[in-house]
Structure 1
Amino acid sequence: MSESSFHAPVSLPEEFSAACPATTLVTIYHVLSDEKQRRAAQEQLDAAVEIVTKSLSAVSCNWQEHPTAPHEHWVAHRFWVGTTEKVNTKELLTLLETALSGQQASNLRIAVVSSEHITAERRMLIMDVDSTLINEEVIEQLAAHAGKEAEVAAVTEAAMRGELDFEESLHARCLTLAGLPLGVIEDVQQNRVSLTPGATELVRSYQDRGWPVCVVSGGFVQVLKPIAEALELDRYEANVLETERDRNGEQLTGRVIGDVVGRATKAKMLQQWAEEFNISPTHVMAIGDGANDLDMLAAAGLGVAFCAKPALKEAADVVLRDRRLDLAALVTGL
């Protein structure tokens, strides 16, 4: 998504706010593959708007349309939903999905976000890294050098589903890296990891407004540091791989230095950085994909599950199923 794809940041109309003190922003968008589908989707979305409006009349909602410009692969509409009493965003999402269930639109996506987050003067973004900011799991890429990628990937998958203790699983996976030369870190950083589509655009949408962007990772700082510096992130935190030197040069020991950056640490860093930047946690958006992001999303005002495991989807405020991080900017009014 280019910057020109978005309107100015969404603001709540004064007359709408006065009539409906409790408000939420609904974004309905459709991911498309070609121009023909885009035209068909536009007609479908117009019909969906009518269906949703009629369905929501049962809960006395008032609507004001805020459309976004069509982009290369999607079409979207935004609506303010106003009520006299605060509406649970998950309940509203369920109502919307039920109202639209008859539409033949397998790619139809809906996101509901409270105006308390949308209308904040300043916000903060905090993200997980592996499989979120970047497409890959770094430890799997490192393990590939030891011929252990499949073995490590299976453990990673179980840990992200919440079936294994993350810290214990990380120690076990790191042991497979023992004896690898230090050069494998540079190879992975330069040749084996890539930014998730839309990552740069999402980061810039915050930075252009002077809002802080931070990342906290259960991966490794030696790989993360160049990425964080290239994106000019405000803060970053990750595990540190231990190395030692012998007659063959410097190599990995298979251990991490200090405490593991895990589930509790991620939430702690969110609280610490929010306080440092003088931003209420209510105005922080946290994005992750696995069970070790649960506490971080719970600590944030808006928790986003990104192409996530079931445990995180159930706990998140917003679920993004398409692998474009800039959709997080779309559904939060940027």
Structure 2
Amino acid sequence: MSYVTTLVARRDAISLSPAIINHIRNAIRGGTPVTLSPNEAVDIPVSTPPDPAVLRDAIEGKPIDAITVKTRGRRKALLIADMDSTMIEGETLDELAAFAGIGEQIAAITRRAMNGELDFKAALRERVAMLKGLKLEALEKTWERVRFTPGGRELVLTMRARGATTALVSGGFTFFTARVAEALGFETHRSNVLLDDGAVLTGHVREPILDRDSKLAALRELAAARGLKQQATLAVGDGANDLDMIKAAGLGVAFRAKPIVAAEAQARVDHGDLRALLFAQGYKASEFAG
């Protein structure tokens, strides 16, 4: 068949039982299921993409993600990923703000910016300005609080092991992207630079700011460097500044995303972890690296 619908269950909440699989398979008129990870992930071949409403009704509100892709060219040769609330849990800028005693104030701006309600560049400058005078030790303390999203290292290392290029491209800051990239195995990273005087933050970010347009440009540039068509790329993120690269990629995934992103992305992961992006490419758990 020309398409496949991949079901991925949230591992700590539900088991993807044969009964559940068969119920969904019958609803979407799929072929024989192929297990990718017992009780967690399965492929169901389909001749045409299922009606989203039919698929949603068949899942019946269970914590199961469903991603439909073409079977041809399923495995991607470029991964470009957002950092905050995607490869790591939470927003590093909001964590920094907590040390300045203005966490809630800045978090409110972040939420609006990530949902596309504010201009990203202006919102970033405003938030960084509010951090003027914050001691640099707050950066280290924030790094100590960083928690990686489950499945992230497996995603990066498995794709690299199969020859894919991997890039972390973030509207956050190089202090964090450099460390996250190294920890998770990304080959390269791009982000913004917080300026300081050697002791405290100056309240400024180096221009030009890496934003929504920059992420899309990075996708195109990295694909061109490899001689890849955009169909051979995978992009994942959660905020409005990720939307253009998500929509342009061969497989664009809204990961636990803001409403505006989830509504427009071709694929979404609301329940599972980053392993779902490997299952969506047809990888079995036994093939995962890392």
Structure 1, unmatched stretches of 5+, are: 1-15, 17-22, 57-62
Decide which of 282, 302, 307 is 2:231's aligned counterpart: 282
The two structures have a TM-score, normalised by structure 1, of: 0.79
Alignment: residue pair count: 283
Q: What corresponds to 1:68 in structure 2?
A: 36
Distance of 1:144 and 1:315 partners within structure 2 = 32
Distance of 1:46 and 1:234 partners within structure 2 = 40
Q: What corresponds to 2:152 in structure 1?
A: 199
Displaced runs of 4 or more, over 4 A: 102-105
Q: For each residue in 1:274-308, what CA deviation from the matched residue of structure 2 results, as whole angstroms up to 9, or x when unmatched?
A: 11222221110000101111111122111100000
Q: For each residue in 1:48-69, what CA deviation from the matched residue of structure 2 results, as whole angstroms up to 9, or x when unmatched?
A: 323322xx7xxxxxx3432223
Change (3 A) 1:197 1:165: same
Q: What corresponds to 2:241 in structure 1?
A: 292
Change (3 A) 1:277 1:68: same
The 10-residue stretch of structure 1 (296-305 or 105-114) with the greater mean CA deviation from structure 2: 105-114
Q: What corresponds to 2:63 in structure 1?
A: 107
The Cα shift of 1:29 comes to 3.2
CA contact (8 A) 1:196 1:323 kept: no
Decide which of 168, 171, 181 is 1:215's aligned counterpart: 168
Decide which of 7, 11, 15 is 1:38's aligned counterpart: 15
CA contact (8 A) 1:161 1:290 kept: yes
Structure 2, unmatched stretches of 5+, are: 284-290
CA contact (8 A) 1:178 1:252 kept: yes
Distance of 1:26 and 1:258 partners within structure 2 = 43
Q: What corresponds to 1:12 in structure 2?
A: none
* Higher relative contact order (CA closer than 8 Å, sequence separation 6+): 2
Distance of 1:178 and 1:323 partners within structure 2 = 38
Distance of 2:59 and 2:173 partners within structure 1 = 44
Please show how residues 57-96 of structure 1 align to structure 2 within 5 Å: 63-70=31-38, 74-82=39-47, 87=48, 89=49, 92-94=50-52
Distance of 2:237 and 2:55 partners within structure 1 = 28
Specify the SS of the correspondent of 1:27: strand
Distance of 1:38 and 1:222 partners within structure 2 = 39
Specify the SS of the correspondent of 1:101: helix
1:264 and 2:213 correspond: yes
Q: What corresponds to 2:6 in structure 1?
A: 27
Distance of 2:248 and 2:24 partners within structure 1 = 34
Specify the SS of the correspondent of 1:170: helix
Distance of 2:157 and 2:165 partners within structure 1 = 10
Please show how residues 140-179 of structure 1 align to structure 2 within 5 Å: 140-179=94-133
The two structures have a TM-score, normalised by structure 2, of: 0.90
Which structure has the larger Rg? 1
Q: What corresponds to 1:180 in structure 2?
A: 134
CA contact (8 A) 1:197 1:323 kept: no
